Chains A and B, each alone.
Chain A
Amino acid sequence: MVKKKYVKRYKKKRYRFATIQYRKSKLKRYLFSRKKRLESGIYTLLLSGDKNPTGTESNTTNCPRYTFSTDIPDHYNETYICALPKNPEWMFVYWELGPEYQGSIAEQEKCGSKYVLRTEEFGVKVLNEIFSDAEKPLIVDTEIDARSNECYVRIPYSGKEYTITMGEIKADNEFEPIISTEPFSTAQKSIQNSVDSDWVLFSTDELIDYSADTGSMKETLFSGSGLLSNESGSDKNRYFGSASPD
């Protein structure tokens, strides 16, 4: 009886030992293959404790089984420009000049050239091309550092269409364009004067007045700035409930 029990225990022990050995060898094989994989530069997925190849730390709160890279380029080696209206008064412009321009910028600056973003009213420019006696297009230049790649530019008049051209103003004041945006429209900041005669009531102005409310909202709405900024904005108290309280 005692012997039987001993044999049973022994077998159990052996089995446990074999299992541990098996797991150890499996882990060894696995670590070896992982080492190889990492050495070969293939970072398909990272495991807990692995150093992220991009050097970026994950902020996950408990041992992630893998993380994704957050390494993104600073530039794309392309030439492009883009303008996005922020509000009726400002727009955000970003750009990149490809490698073909990099050398010439330094050279031109030595020669006294400066770089600008030229804001040009679009519709008027077209009219001017068709009718030579049309009014001159509105042009506003904003000087920029050509090595930078973005800036906020003031919009001359809201509600109009513009193009932005990045270019060089040479020592003799001649403008040489480099790259332009597509035409884009900017936001209105006030109630329009135009009326559709089929769609008007005696009370239309009163209804519009009432739509903008009669209190402080009216002042902000009609002044065209700070719209709904303090009272009715939707961006108060949005979700993200687990954030620490203010």
Chain B
Amino acid sequence: MTPSIKMPKGYLSLVLHAHLPFVRHPECDYMMEENWLYEALTETYLPLLSIFDNLINDRIPFRLTMSLTPPLCSMLADPLLQERYLKHITKLIELAEKEVDRTGDLPEFNETAQHYLQRFLLCKRMFEYSYAGNILKGFKKFQDLGFLEIITCGATHGYLPNMQLNPNAIRAQIKIAAQSYEAFFDRTPVGIWLPECGYYPGLERFLSEVDIRYFFTETHGVLFADPKPKYGIFAPIFCKGAPVAVFGRDVESSRQVWSTQEGYPGDPNYRDFYRDIGFDLDMDYIAPYIDPIGIRINTGIKYYRITDKGTDKKPYNRDNAMRVAAEHAGNFMFNREKQAEYLSSMMDRPPIIVAPYDAELFGHWWYEGPNWLNFLIRKTAFEQNTISLITPSDYLDSYPTNQIAEPSFSSWGEGGYSDVWLHKSNDWIYRHLHRMEERMVEYARKYPEAGGLLRRTLNQMSRELLLAESSDWAFIMKTGTMVQYAVRRTKEHIANFLRLYDDVKAETIDPNFVSLLESHNNIFPEIDYRVYI
């Protein structure tokens, strides 16, 4: 069976934004926050790669856009974290085996336990043998084969509107991201996911400097553009400041997935995220698989379905969940078809519906998310002729002439502007970040030809600055979970930077301290501080 090749009435651009902050702690054997990466590998990245593999094996064409942020790529390529993930998944397999035994007489749970065991074994096999520990190879393969368009992001996911004061800081975030992308994927990025979709008028100048062709904004970024956008958000506009295209997020398709009220992930048949055996089982039994000092954590093994809002949860049934995921994929596709039909009747070109999501929603929070995506791609290929999957760059190739307008200041955070990253819980960081940015520019200009230890110090100062700028810390401070860690990380990077700054000034650089920082905060090994000139 081959998919239809009729001219579609509209296009659907699915965009997955994969990002995690740079968390790497060689100083500890176990660090709870490193689990973010391991959980995302097991539940999101590896399942996605597995689905892509199956689609190719079944000769199903697809075009997806995926942003893999530089901190995530750096962690995925890091040997220490790779080794630790292997230990993590091996332990999970051990736990799943015990669970299969433990639930032997409970058929309603045993099937799910078997499912986890198979899932973990597959993850380990893929990680260890298919990709030799580095799954970036997998994503690169799908890009090289023409199924995936991988785009970049800010170097450390810094929220750019709050860096407006210092253009060099923004330039560094963009240039280093582009360099990092090239190192991992052997080509230059065509698009970028602006961290938190944070845009302010004029930002496009920095994007065009590294030949980025497009980015995304929240709906009102395009909708409030000046002048009024001819096609609403259903076609890109070119920014006034530089020839970079901007695509606005579609509200309807976003709501169907994101909404806590109407969204698919809240279906009673889907797996409940919050009932995890890390919290449910006896401490004696679960102790080897949680934080070594006895703090209970999610293990990833969860036996219940959402059921309803109450606490009396029913056992998870994988087959039912898959059936519902297929139904939801069909519903999503049907709605996009209707949307494309309606829009195309009003437009003189096929509309593009842009549906971006956090990649980690798929699999980690919404366990069946990757399967939903799988069903959606298959159904789109075989069950209709109205819409077709496309990437933004394909659309720009087909429709290179677009309206010029100035998009509006916007982000995709709560409130639609900077409310999340500029809040009473986190506003204290900007005084320090801005001073650091000024000092970095000062030294880059003062020592344009530094060599040896001074050069290493200036490069490490750049890393500390970039890591402090990560929007994740401000986000965590605002949301109120794991705040202590975010505050600590922010302060550490600021303190490290300021100490290096003072050491350079006093000409008392401590080579041991520089080496320690280089080995600890080792993101962007090829960084050149002169990007701040």
Interface residues of A (CB under 8 A from B): 42, 44-45, 54, 56, 58-73, 76, 78, 82, 84-88, 92, 94, 96, 149-150, 182, 184-196, 199-201, 203-204, 206-213, 217, 221, 226-246
**What's the Cα separation between A44 and B500 when bound, in Å?**
12
A-contacting residues, B402-433, CB 8 Å = 403-405, 408-410, 412-420, 422, 427, 430-432
Contact of A194 among B32, B228, B262, B360 (CB under 8 A): B228
Residues of A with C-beta under 8 A to B250? 211
Closest residue on chain B to residue A70 by CB atoms: B491
Q: Does B476 contact A (CB under 8 A)?
A: yes
Does B499 contact A69, Cβ atoms closer than 8 Å?
yes
Inter-subunit contact A207/B347 (CB<8 Å): yes
Cα of A231 to Cα of B519 in the assembled complex, Å: 42
The answer for the CA separation of A230 and B261 in the assembled complex, in Å, is 9
B430 touches A84 (CB 8 A): yes
Kindly provide the distance from the CB of A42 to the nearest chain B CB, expressed in whole angstroms. 7
Let me know if B35 is at the binding interface, CB within 8 A: yes
Known A-B contacts A44-B516, A186-B409, A233-B414; the reply to A87 vs B419 at CB < 8 A is yes
CB distance from A167 to the nearest CB of B (A): 20
Q: Please give me the residue from chain A that is nearest to B32 by CB atom.
A: A242
Bound together, the chains give a CA A59 to CA B25 distance in angstroms of: 12
Do A232 and B251 touch (CB < 8 A)?
A: yes
Q: In angstroms, how far is the closest chain A Cβ from the Cβ of B442?
A: 12
A-B contact pairs, 22 of them (CB 8 A): A45-B516, A61-B31, A61-B293, A62-B30, A64-B25, A73-B498, A82-B430, A84-B161, A85-B161, A87-B415, A87-B417, A92-B422, A188-B224, A194-B226, A199-B403, A210-B232, A235-B475, A237-B361, A237-B365, A240-B36, A241-B39, A242-B35
List the A residue with the shortest CB-CB distance to B360: A239
Give CA–CA (A66, B28) in the complex, Å: 9
A235 touches B420 (CB 8 A): yes
**Which one of A186, A200, A228, A242 lies within 8 Å of B33 (CB-CB)?**
A242
* A72 close to B495 (CB less than 8 A): yes
Question: Which residue on A lies nearest to B475, using beta carbons?
Answer: A235
Residues of B within 8 A of A (CB-CB), count: 115
Checking B296, B403, B482, B495 against A68 with a beta-carbon cut-off of 8 angstroms, the contacting residue is B495
**8 A Cβ contacts from B198-239 to A:** 200-201, 218-220, 222-234
Question: Is there contact, CB below 8 Å, between A211 and B223?
Answer: yes
Complex CA–CA separation, A199 to B227 (angstroms): 9
A42 to B499, CA, bound (A): 12
Task: Determine the distance from Cα of A203 to Cα of B279 in the docked complex, in whole angstroms.
Answer: 55
* A201 and B364 alpha carbons, distance in the complex (Å): 43
CB–CB B491/A72 < 8 A? yes
Question: Which of B228, B259, B430 sits near A231, CB closer than 8 Å?
Answer: B259
Across the interface, name the chain A residue whose C-beta is closest to B345.
A203
Using CB atoms, name the residue of chain B closest to A243. B481
Contacts of A85 in B (CB 8 A): 161, 409, 417-418
The answer to whether B260 has its CB under 8 Å from any CB of chain A is yes
Given known A221-B219, A234-B358, contact A206–B405 (CB-CB < 8 A): no
- Which residues B94-130 have CB closer than 8 A to chain A? none
Q: Is the CB of A234 within 8 A of B412?
A: yes
Task: Judge whether B484 and A59 touch: CB under 8 Å.
Answer: yes
- In the complex, B5 has a CB within 8 A of chain A: no
- Are the CB atoms of A194 and B346 closer together than 8 Å? no
Identify which of A62, A84, A188 contacts B226 (C-beta below 8 A).
A188
Interface contact A69-B492, CB-CB below 8 Å: yes
A231→B258 contact, CB < 8 A = yes
Q: State whether B218 touches A227 (Cβ < 8 A).
A: yes
Please measure, in the bound complex, the distance between the C-alpha atom of A184 and the C-alpha atom of B162, giving whole angstroms.
11
Given contacts A213-B252, A233-B414, 11 further A-B contacts (CB under 8 A): A60-B25, A62-B293, A73-B498, A186-B409, A187-B408, A211-B223, A235-B420, A236-B258, A240-B36, A241-B35, A241-B36
Q: Closest chain B residue to A233 by CB distance? A: B414
Task: Tell whether B488 is near chain A: CB-to-CB under 8 Å.
Answer: yes
CA distance A204 to B414 in the complex (A): 28
CB nearest to A91 among chain B residues = B422
Q: Which of A60, A86, A207 interacts with B28 by CB under 8 Å?
A: A60
B 170-219 contacts with A by CB, 8 A: 196-197, 200-201, 218-219
Min CB distance B247 to A, Å, is 12
Chain B residues in 8 Å Cβ range of A207: 230-232, 234, 343, 346-347
**Least Cβ distance of B519 to chain A in Å?**
11
B29 within 8 A of A: yes
Determine if B512 is an interface residue (Cβ-Cβ < 8 Å).
yes
Closest to B262 in A: A231
Taking the complex as formed, is B496 at the interface, i.e. its CB lies under 8 A from any CB of chain A?
A: yes
B297 at the interface (CB under 8 A from A): yes
Decide if B484 touches A211 in the complex (CB within 8 Å): no
Q: Is B298 an interface residue (CB 8 A)?
A: yes
B360 cross-chain contacts in A, Cβ below 8 A: 238-239
- Checking B31, B279, B495 against A70 with a beta-carbon cut-off of 8 angstroms, the contacting residue is B495
**Residues of the B chain whose Cβ atoms lie less than 8 Å from the Cβ of A233:** 258, 412-414
Contacts of B225 in A (CB 8 A): 192
Decide if A240 touches B218 in the complex (CB within 8 Å).
no
Report the separation of the CA atoms of residues A240 and B36 in the bound assembly, to the nearest whole angstrom. 6
Known: A82-B430, A200-B230. A44 touches B499 (CB 8 A): no
Across the two chains, which residue of chain A brings its CB closest to B432? Answer: A72
| Cα distance A82–B166 in the bound complex, in angstroms | 11
B80 at the binding interface (Cβ < 8 Å): no
Please tell me if the beta carbons of A184 and B164 are within 8 angstroms of each other in the complex.
yes
Least CB distance, A221 to chain B, in whole angstroms: 6
Q: A203-B347, A232-B258 are contacts. A211–B297 as well, Cβ < 8 Å? A: no
User: What chain B residues lie within 8 Å of A217 (beta carbons)?
Assistant: 251, 255
Given A61-B292, A191-B223, A194-B226; A242-B492 close (CB under 8 Å): no
A86 to B413, CA, bound (A): 12
